[in-house]
Amino acid sequence: MMNNQTLTKLLEMKLSGMADAYKEQVSNKEFHKMSFEDRFTLLVDLEHSRRKSNKLQRLIKTATFINSNACIEDIEYHEDRRLDKELILKLASGTYIQDHHNVILKGPTGSGKSFLASAFGVSACRQFYKVKYIRLPELLDELSLAKLAADGSYRKVIKKYKKVDVLILDEWLLTDMSTEEAAILLEITEARHKVASTIFCSQIDPSGWHLKLGNETIAEAILDRIIHDSYQIMIDGDISMRERHGIGAEL
């Protein structure tokens, strides 16, 4: 017989997984043949599993991926893309996050940089790391506005991004940076240097980043904090991924 008070207490303590398992055990006579220890273990296991699942969903939602369904298992290793599968699987294991290293994904528009970055991000979420996906123009807007405020918002935003285990910066240096914007990027890279990992998605090889950053001194400082601790993946392809999966590909 179900003890309604026990069920109510479980729900009050937000142990919904355990509450559902308890109701199942009461209604299914097969469970009555089991020992108390085995039945209790099942209650705890279901609650634990549900909490981990809920945490994963929260992490994925908070990350604001453009494609939250991207995953390592769906990466397409077409010959013309020349992807290093061994390196990708190594990175997916999360060792670069533990070592606070970065990843630079470079390639032309439509090559699948954002998908691969999101796949790495989802993989990190599965390992319960905090991830944030954001386009560089949006990040610069957020920090520029915070810098204008007189309430210390700028430092709070810098601190917020420092706490993210994996920061995915899409559209990295797609346009030329002003000296002020380059200085903001230096703040971010300095805050995260050797304490967190960043994934950069860029159409430009790092050898050309100096020109985009403009100020030579700031550019040297930024690159010094990124390049030496980064894995680089060139995503090539005779056909863009948008073309591969576009309407024409279905005809």
Tell me the chain's radius of gyration from C-alpha atoms: 23
Short-list 24, 6, 2, CA closest to 15: 6
CA distance 161 to 164: 5
**pLDDT value at position 194?**
95
**pLDDT value at position 153?**
93
CA distance 142 to 199: 19
Residue type at position 126: R
Q: Which CATH architecture has domain 64-250?
A: 3-Layer(aba) Sandwich (3.40)
- The predicted-structure confidence for 222-250, as pLDDT tens digits, reads as follows 999 999 999 999 998 666 666 666 655 55
CA distance 160 to 176: 25
State which residues of the chain have pLDDT below 50.
251
Short-list 30, 33, 25, 35, CA closest to 1: 25
**Neighbour-count burial for 125-148, b at 16+ CB within 10 Å, e otherwise:** bbbebebbbbbbeebbebbeebbe
**pLDDT value at position 47?**
82
Element (H, E) at 233: strand 230-234
Contact partners, residue 154, CB within 8 Å, separation at least 6: 143, 146, 147
- The predicted-structure confidence for 183-220, as pLDDT tens digits, reads as follows 999 999 999 999 999 999 999 999 999 999 999 999 99
CA distance 203 to 173: 8
Element (H, E) at 20: helix 16-27
CA distance 147 to 156: 10
**pLDDT value at position 24?**
79
Map out the domains of the chain as residue ranges. 4-61, 64-250
**pLDDT value at position 249?**
54
Report which DSSP code applies to 109: T
**pLDDT value at position 238?**
60
**pLDDT value at position 61?**
97
Short-list 162, 172, 232, 221, CA closest to 197: 162
Report which DSSP code applies to 30: G
